[in-house]
Amino acid sequence: MSTNHKLTATSRKIEGKGASRRLRIAGHVPAIVYGAGEAPQAIQVLHNDILLGSRFESFYSSVIDLTVDGKLQKVLIKDWQKHPFKQLMLHMDFLRINENEAVRVAVPVHFLNQEKSPAGKTAGLVISHNLTEITVSCLPKDLPEFIALDLVDLKAGDIVHLSDLKLPAGVEIPELGLGKEHDVAVVTVAAIQEEVDPAAEGGDAPAEEKK
Protein backbone atom coordinates (compact mmCIF):
# COMPACT_ATOMS: atom_id res chain seq x y z
CA MET A 1 0.00 0.00 0.00
CA SER A 2 1.29 3.46 -0.83
CA THR A 3 2.17 6.17 1.67
CA ASN A 4 -0.72 8.40 2.67
CA HIS A 5 0.52 11.97 2.28
CA LYS A 6 -1.18 14.92 3.93
CA LEU A 7 -1.87 18.48 2.71
CA THR A 8 -3.78 21.39 4.21
CA ALA A 9 -5.54 23.90 1.99
CA THR A 10 -7.98 26.80 2.18
CA SER A 11 -10.76 27.70 -0.21
CA ARG A 12 -10.44 30.72 -2.50
CA LYS A 13 -13.15 32.76 -4.15
CA ILE A 14 -11.20 35.13 -6.39
CA GLU A 15 -10.08 33.41 -9.58
CA GLY A 16 -8.27 34.49 -12.72
CA LYS A 17 -4.70 35.04 -13.87
CA GLY A 18 -4.15 38.11 -11.71
CA ALA A 19 -5.41 36.41 -8.55
CA SER A 20 -3.35 33.29 -9.26
CA ARG A 21 -0.23 35.41 -9.81
CA ARG A 22 -0.72 37.12 -6.46
CA LEU A 23 -1.17 33.76 -4.76
CA ARG A 24 2.11 32.47 -6.19
CA ILE A 25 3.94 35.61 -5.08
CA ALA A 26 2.54 35.00 -1.58
CA GLY A 27 3.90 31.43 -1.60
CA HIS A 28 0.72 29.53 -2.47
CA VAL A 29 -0.27 27.22 -5.32
CA PRO A 30 -3.72 27.77 -6.86
CA ALA A 31 -5.55 24.47 -7.29
CA ILE A 32 -8.89 22.82 -8.00
CA VAL A 33 -10.40 19.81 -6.24
CA TYR A 34 -13.26 17.99 -8.00
CA GLY A 35 -15.00 14.65 -8.43
CA ALA A 36 -16.97 12.19 -6.28
CA GLY A 37 -20.24 13.84 -7.28
CA GLU A 38 -19.37 17.15 -5.61
CA ALA A 39 -18.96 20.57 -7.17
CA PRO A 40 -15.42 21.67 -8.11
CA GLN A 41 -13.78 23.82 -5.45
CA ALA A 42 -11.05 26.40 -5.94
CA ILE A 43 -8.37 26.09 -3.25
CA GLN A 44 -4.87 27.25 -2.39
CA VAL A 45 -2.03 25.18 -0.93
CA LEU A 46 1.27 26.34 0.54
CA HIS A 47 3.98 25.94 -2.08
CA ASN A 48 6.47 24.68 0.51
CA ASP A 49 4.08 21.84 1.41
CA ILE A 50 3.96 20.80 -2.24
CA LEU A 51 7.76 20.90 -2.48
CA LEU A 52 8.11 18.76 0.64
CA GLY A 53 5.64 16.20 -0.70
CA SER A 54 7.25 16.07 -4.14
CA ARG A 55 10.52 14.93 -2.57
CA PHE A 56 8.85 11.50 -2.43
CA GLU A 57 8.38 9.60 -5.67
CA SER A 58 5.02 8.29 -4.41
CA PHE A 59 3.56 11.78 -3.95
CA TYR A 60 2.12 11.91 -7.46
CA SER A 61 0.64 8.39 -7.37
CA SER A 62 -0.62 8.06 -3.79
CA VAL A 63 -3.82 8.81 -1.91
CA ILE A 64 -3.50 12.19 -0.21
CA ASP A 65 -5.37 13.37 2.88
CA LEU A 66 -6.36 16.86 1.75
CA THR A 67 -7.93 19.00 4.47
CA VAL A 68 -9.78 22.04 3.06
CA ASP A 69 -11.12 24.52 5.61
CA GLY A 70 -11.07 21.78 8.22
CA LYS A 71 -12.84 19.16 6.05
CA LEU A 72 -10.84 16.02 5.20
CA GLN A 73 -11.04 14.67 1.65
CA LYS A 74 -9.25 11.71 0.07
CA VAL A 75 -7.73 12.81 -3.24
CA LEU A 76 -5.27 11.94 -5.95
CA ILE A 77 -3.16 14.42 -7.90
CA LYS A 78 -4.76 14.35 -11.32
CA ASP A 79 -2.79 17.06 -13.12
CA TRP A 80 -0.20 19.73 -12.43
CA GLN A 81 1.55 22.57 -14.20
CA LYS A 82 5.19 23.37 -13.41
CA HIS A 83 7.35 26.31 -14.40
CA PRO A 84 9.44 25.33 -17.45
CA PHE A 85 12.79 25.80 -15.67
CA LYS A 86 12.20 27.02 -12.10
CA GLN A 87 11.40 24.74 -9.17
CA LEU A 88 7.94 26.23 -9.07
CA MET A 89 4.50 24.60 -9.16
CA LEU A 90 2.03 26.83 -11.00
CA HIS A 91 -1.27 24.96 -10.66
CA MET A 92 -2.64 21.60 -9.50
CA ASP A 93 -5.79 19.51 -9.97
CA PHE A 94 -6.90 17.14 -7.22
CA LEU A 95 -9.45 14.35 -7.83
CA ARG A 96 -11.68 13.28 -4.95
CA ILE A 97 -11.95 9.52 -4.60
CA ASN A 98 -14.35 7.00 -3.09
CA GLU A 99 -12.42 4.52 -0.94
CA ASN A 100 -14.83 1.76 -2.04
CA GLU A 101 -14.32 2.32 -5.77
CA ALA A 102 -11.34 1.32 -7.90
CA VAL A 103 -9.05 4.05 -9.18
CA ARG A 104 -6.70 4.12 -12.16
CA VAL A 105 -3.29 5.53 -11.39
CA ALA A 106 0.05 5.56 -13.22
CA VAL A 107 2.69 4.19 -10.83
CA PRO A 108 6.46 4.01 -11.45
CA VAL A 109 8.33 0.81 -12.24
CA HIS A 110 11.43 -0.01 -10.21
CA PHE A 111 13.96 -2.09 -12.14
CA LEU A 112 15.87 -4.34 -9.71
CA ASN A 113 19.11 -6.32 -10.05
CA GLN A 114 19.72 -5.39 -13.68
CA GLU A 115 23.48 -5.09 -13.12
CA LYS A 116 23.54 -8.62 -11.63
CA SER A 117 21.78 -10.23 -14.60
CA PRO A 118 23.53 -12.13 -17.42
CA ALA A 119 22.47 -9.35 -19.80
CA GLY A 120 23.82 -6.68 -17.48
CA LYS A 121 27.18 -8.45 -17.32
CA THR A 122 27.48 -9.00 -21.08
CA ALA A 123 29.22 -6.44 -23.27
CA GLY A 124 27.54 -5.45 -26.51
CA LEU A 125 23.97 -5.62 -25.19
CA VAL A 126 21.52 -2.76 -24.77
CA ILE A 127 18.84 -3.07 -22.08
CA SER A 128 15.93 -0.76 -22.87
CA HIS A 129 13.31 0.34 -20.33
CA ASN A 130 10.43 0.90 -22.73
CA LEU A 131 7.96 1.76 -19.95
CA THR A 132 8.94 3.49 -16.72
CA GLU A 133 5.41 3.72 -15.32
CA ILE A 134 2.35 1.48 -15.52
CA THR A 135 -1.33 2.39 -15.20
CA VAL A 136 -2.95 0.10 -12.63
CA SER A 137 -6.48 -0.31 -11.31
CA CYS A 138 -7.27 -1.10 -7.68
CA LEU A 139 -9.03 0.09 -4.56
CA PRO A 140 -7.30 3.07 -2.96
CA LYS A 141 -6.20 0.94 0.00
CA ASP A 142 -4.31 -1.40 -2.34
CA LEU A 143 -2.57 1.30 -4.38
CA PRO A 144 1.17 0.48 -4.54
CA GLU A 145 3.90 3.12 -4.47
CA PHE A 146 5.64 1.31 -7.34
CA ILE A 147 5.76 -1.96 -9.29
CA ALA A 148 8.97 -3.91 -8.69
CA LEU A 149 10.46 -5.74 -11.68
CA ASP A 150 13.31 -8.11 -10.83
CA LEU A 151 15.68 -8.43 -13.80
CA VAL A 152 18.20 -10.76 -12.16
CA ASP A 153 17.61 -13.49 -14.79
CA LEU A 154 17.54 -11.14 -17.79
CA LYS A 155 19.62 -12.40 -20.74
CA ALA A 156 20.30 -11.61 -24.38
CA GLY A 157 17.16 -11.55 -26.53
CA ASP A 158 14.74 -11.39 -23.59
CA ILE A 159 11.55 -9.35 -23.71
CA VAL A 160 9.58 -8.64 -20.53
CA HIS A 161 5.91 -7.89 -21.24
CA LEU A 162 3.21 -6.29 -19.10
CA SER A 163 1.79 -9.74 -18.39
CA ASP A 164 5.13 -10.81 -16.88
CA LEU A 165 4.90 -8.25 -14.08
CA LYS A 166 4.18 -9.53 -10.57
CA LEU A 167 1.42 -7.35 -9.15
CA PRO A 168 0.42 -6.92 -5.51
CA ALA A 169 -2.87 -8.47 -4.38
CA GLY A 170 -5.90 -6.58 -5.61
CA VAL A 171 -4.00 -4.73 -8.34
CA GLU A 172 -4.69 -5.15 -12.06
CA ILE A 173 -3.40 -3.69 -15.32
CA PRO A 174 -6.52 -2.62 -17.29
CA GLU A 175 -4.64 -2.56 -20.59
CA LEU A 176 -4.19 -6.34 -20.48
CA GLY A 177 -7.96 -6.76 -20.72
CA LEU A 178 -8.01 -5.11 -24.15
CA GLY A 179 -6.34 -7.97 -26.02
CA LYS A 180 -2.94 -9.56 -26.63
CA GLU A 181 -1.82 -6.68 -28.81
CA HIS A 182 -1.86 -4.48 -25.69
CA ASP A 183 0.58 -6.75 -23.85
CA VAL A 184 3.45 -4.44 -24.74
CA ALA A 185 7.14 -4.80 -23.92
CA VAL A 186 8.33 -3.23 -20.69
CA VAL A 187 11.99 -4.25 -21.08
CA THR A 188 13.90 -5.49 -24.13
CA VAL A 189 17.47 -6.74 -24.59
CA ALA A 190 19.17 -6.30 -27.95
CA ALA A 191 22.69 -6.62 -29.30
CA ILE A 192 24.48 -3.51 -30.47
CA GLN A 193 24.63 -3.43 -34.25
CA GLU A 194 28.00 -2.08 -35.38
CA GLU A 195 28.31 -0.59 -38.83
CA VAL A 196 31.17 -2.08 -40.82
CA ASP A 197 33.36 0.27 -42.85
CA PRO A 198 33.94 -1.39 -46.27
CA ALA A 199 37.24 0.44 -46.61
CA ALA A 200 38.48 -1.11 -43.36
CA GLU A 201 37.71 -4.64 -44.56
CA GLY A 202 38.89 -4.64 -48.14
CA GLY A 203 40.19 -1.23 -49.08
CA ASP A 204 38.34 1.35 -51.14
CA ALA A 205 36.04 -0.03 -53.77
CA PRO A 206 37.08 0.84 -57.34
CA ALA A 207 35.46 4.00 -58.63
CA GLU A 208 34.43 2.22 -61.85
CA GLU A 209 34.34 -1.44 -62.73
CA LYS A 210 36.37 -2.47 -65.75
CA LYS A 211 34.38 -3.85 -68.62
What confidence tens digit (pLDDT) does each residue in 148-197 have?
A: 999 999 999 999 999 999 999 999 999 999 999 999 999 999 998 766 56
**Cβ–Cβ under 8 Å, residues 76 and 89:** no
Mean pLDDT of 47-57: 92
With CA atoms as reference, report the closest residue to 2 among 123, 108, 114: 108
Mean pLDDT of 56-78: 93
CA dihedral 81, 89, 105, 97 (to 10 degrees): -100
Mean pLDDT value across residues 133-157: 95
